[in-house]
Amino acid sequence: MLKSILIQSPAKFYEAVPWFYKEAQKFGFWDKYYIVTDFDGPYNLGDNCVVKKLKKDKQFSSNMLEALPEVKEDIFFVCCEDHILMPGNEEGAWQKCFNFVCDNKDVGFLRLTNNGHVELTSVEFFAPMKRGYQYYISLQPGIWRKEYFRKTLKSGEDAWKFETKGAKRSQKIKGMYSYCVQETIFHRTNFFKSGKYYRHKFAEYAIKNGFELGKRKVHHKGKLYSFKEYAKIFAKKN
């Protein structure tokens, strides 16, 4: 089975997608990328990408529902468009997670991060979440079974409603469950802060890796800097 990932991005956030793709390609794990967006292009992506072009952004859930018919695989990864991969990801660990979902038909969602607060029912590495857990499903990076993902989505809902109301819907789905790893597998930094600024940790990663970023400000300790200004500050600290 091909290892694929599905992400959605409103046009105003699309600038993160090519960087996501570039860093993910370095890791070399995914065979195929599905992107749903209302951005007009150019997309600056490779031949292993399928872009579902929307006439307009319809909020997270509607966007994903429109994209699902394009996804050929029954099991795929989902994450936010600004989750840029960082060092620390291990192909063997990722493959182990993918195999677990493929081999266990009751896994609807496998969360690949663990902040120590996830409510689990066992100490096994792949542990079921407690059925009543508030974030029984979430937009934390994870692996989804298509049927489970589809049933958690409701047209018109934004990402926050997907996580809250979708979690309640997922708890009622029979025969499939949400799981979580005992320790984080998916290591990333976030491109945006509140959808408005470059997150300072990403800006530092960009500086180290020679990224050319746009005009958004870098938010750090309550202050805003241009990317060039922050690069100078970072250089002095290091």
Minimum mean pLDDT range among 112-116, 167-171, 176-180, 230-234 = 230-234
Of the pLDDT bands very low, low, confident and very high (cuts 50, 70, 90), residue 36 is very high
Read off the pLDDT band of 1 (50, 70, 90): confident
What residues contact 24, with CB distance under 8 A and at least 6 apart?
5, 30, 33, 85
| Stretch 220-230: mean pLDDT | 91
Instruction: Write down the domain spans for the chain.
Output: 4-188, 191-237
pTM of the complete model beyond 0.75 = yes
Q: Which superfamily is assigned to 4-188 in CATH? A: Spore Coat Polysaccharide Biosynthesis Protein SpsA; Chain A (3.90.550.10)
Mean pLDDT of 84-108: 97
Pairing outcome for strands 188-190 and 223-225 = unpaired
Given this model, what pLDDT does residue 212 score?
Answer: 76
Provide mean pLDDT across the span 148-156: 97
Sheet containing 75-78: order of strands: 49-53, 32-37, 4-9, 75-78, 142-145, 107-111, 177-181, 126-128
Q: Is the pLDDT of residue 217 over 90?
A: yes
